[in-house]
Structure 1
């Protein structure tokens, strides 16, 4: 029985390149030809390995939020304090704002592009959102234990607020809000924890 040729590509590199492309352009604006060029796959390899464009997109998006959650957890573990970690997360939007064409947050971009129109993607958006909020919740809980933050509000509520604030800031970087204005908002958010 002919089993076909073995894979001659690195699946991690393919997903990384696809993720970067979808993050920059979005799902609809990314053509199959764009994907073939970015990943180095042939059309047959793409279909054999991923099934179709949407399956590749879903795998690339999953890679995005898995890697971001891992990076955030590592940053929290290495941070001088949980509240410094929170401040650094907020300040990270300034890195994107320095780009000539800010990409924003892939999670926010995907949520905006798909809304609730595609159930499989909506489920991934919900999973990604939950994972990000869990990291923030952990940070706020640690901050409360260390006495850096009042125990009056639940870490889950603070994480929800933080996630919404980050989403808004990431969106505003794409609409070219000035660095000065972004810093003003970040200062207001930080002041709200007191």
Structure 2
């Protein structure tokens, strides 16, 4: 029985390239031709391996938030102080702000593009938000346990606030908020935790 030609591409690299493209352009503005060029796949290979455009998008978006949440957790585990990790997260928006065309946060971009119009994407947006908030919650638990911050609010409440602040900052990088203005906001947020 002929099983066809074996795959001669790296699926992880394909997903990474697709993710970067969707992150930069969004779902609607990314054409099938754009995806073929970015991944180096033929149309038939793309469909055989990843299904349709939306299926590839869902897989790439999941790769984004699972990878980011894992990286954040590793950074938290490496941080001596939980508030150091929180500041590092806030400062990460400056990297995006220094790009010629800031991308913002892929999660925020996807939430804005789809809103709740697509149930499958909406479920992924909720799952991604939970993943990020869980890491922030762990950070605030540690900060309270070590006495870095007071326990007047629950770690879950602080994590939700932090998630909203991060989303707002990432959105503002796309709207052109200056480096100095971003730093001012970060300093104000960090003063809130002290």
Gaps of 5+ in 2: none
Residue 131 of structure 1 corresponds to which residue in structure 2?
131
Q: Which moved more, 1:16-25 or 1:179-188?
A: 179-188
Task: Tell me, in whole angstroms, the C-alpha distance in 1 between the residues paired with 2:46 and 2:3.
Answer: 17
Task: Tell me, in whole angstroms, the C-alpha distance in 1 between the residues paired with 2:112 and 2:4.
Answer: 40
The number of equivalent residue pairs is 194
Gaps of 5+ in 1: none
Q: Deviations over 1:59-114 (max 9, x none)?
A: 00000001101110111011121000001100110111111100010000000000
Task: Tell me, in whole angstroms, the C-alpha distance in 2 between the residues paired with 1:183 and 1:54.
Answer: 37
Residue 28 of structure 1 corresponds to which residue in structure 2?
28
Task: Tell me, in whole angstroms, the C-alpha distance in 2 between the residues paired with 1:26 and 1:80.
Answer: 37
Q: TM-score, normalised by structure 2?
A: 0.98
Divergent runs of 4+, >3 A: none
Q: Which moved more, 1:27-36 or 1:2-11?
A: 2-11
Residue 144 of structure 2 corresponds to which residue in structure 1?
144
Residue 97 of structure 1 corresponds to which residue in structure 2?
97
Q: Does residue 85 of structure 2 align to residue 85 of structure 1?
A: yes
Matching of residues 41-120 of structure 1 within 5 Å? 41-120=41-120
**SS at 1:7 equivalent:** coil
Q: Over aligned residue pairs, what C-alpha RMSD do you find?
A: 0.8
Q: TM-score, normalised by structure 1?
A: 0.98
